[in-house]
Amino acid sequence: MPLRVHRRSAVPAALLALAVALTGCASTNSQLEDYTQIEQGNARPAESPQVSDPEGGEVVPAPGSVSSLVALGDRVVAQVDGPPGLEIARVEGTRWIPESSVELPVDAGTATAGHDGTVLVPYGDGVVVVTPAGDSREISGLGPVTAAAVTADGRLLTGTSDGEVVIREADGTEQRRIGGLTSVDRIAVARDGSVTAFSRPDTVIASIDLDEDGAGPLLRAGKGAGKMDEYGERSVVASDTVGDTLLVYSTSPIRLHQQFPVAAAPWAVAGDPTRDVVWVTSTGTNTVQAYDLGDGAGVRRVEIATVRQPDSLAVTDSGTVVVGSSDGAGLHLMRPALPVPSS
């Protein structure tokens, strides 16, 4: 709109208009940044409905809440908080057969499977390494560790809260650091040896080249990714908890291949090699679903009601699906049959 000013005031008026425009842009940018901070990143599981009615299988008690599940062949390791520890059991069908328990530091992070068949638990001064038989050792003196993984050649990878992946020898001796992320909340090593890191605060997923100084390529993972897990030979899957979608990436380098809607507030994810599907828990509905990725769009094969607050998930080599409750409702073991997709 033209301004009604005298000619000699045209330049100041133009500057005033520009200042107003810039102020408006700054305000818009500020609002956009506020929106981004609220809507993207820092995903958390939704508070699940109070009522749950697990369908089929068996529900067994666990000491306290279950924060993580790791499948090692036909053993499953449940990370619990009452007190902090790992409960290792052999799974036969839907039977949970306890074998051993391992105490963990009070500041233990999330347990994950190592490429070498061990379980890795980061904590405030290093990593606890646990074998399937329940033998454990601590690699200490590393400082606070947020995530851990083992490479195909046996090196230890650790993450830091300020976004570095630290490459170490098997005994923890530091070799070098790779920066470029906001945080390192998960490190995944695919079967082909490719390494991927996940930063939850800004919902970024990145390739990690162990010979480079910086992470990358980096991709935004939906609106707010919750969990990431290896899938197949050279892929990872991630739950977009804020955006209610499942994300499927190829690795080396990271590339988004599929993104499709799933049930509300997806959280835990796990591949199922016996059925060739991906399982996803929905913290918004107390259910777990299986998705077939074969047609490129993601087809839901089954949905099963499970325990309240299903924040953890694992699938054994023989096909038992185990869901863990972080609300004290125990473990749900099931062996679901998937209906044949309609043609």
Tens digits of per-residue pLDDT, 199-222?
999 999 999 999 999 998 999 999
Q: From residue 169, how far is each of 93, 145, 172, 175, 190 by CA, in Å?
A: 38, 15, 5, 7, 19
Amino acid 14: pLDDT:
39
Please state the rounded mean pLDDT for residues 76-105.
97
Task: Give the Cα separation of 66 and 323 in Å (integer).
Answer: 9
Q: From residue 28, how far is each of 9, 25, 82, 109, 221 by CA, in Å?
A: 28, 5, 48, 38, 24
pLDDT beyond 50 at 120: yes
Q: Which domains does the chain have, with CATH numbers?
A: 57-334 (2.130.10.10)
Q: What is the mean pLDDT of the chain?
A: 89
Amino acid 295: pLDDT:
76
Residue 34: pLDDT band by 50, 70, 90 thresholds? very low
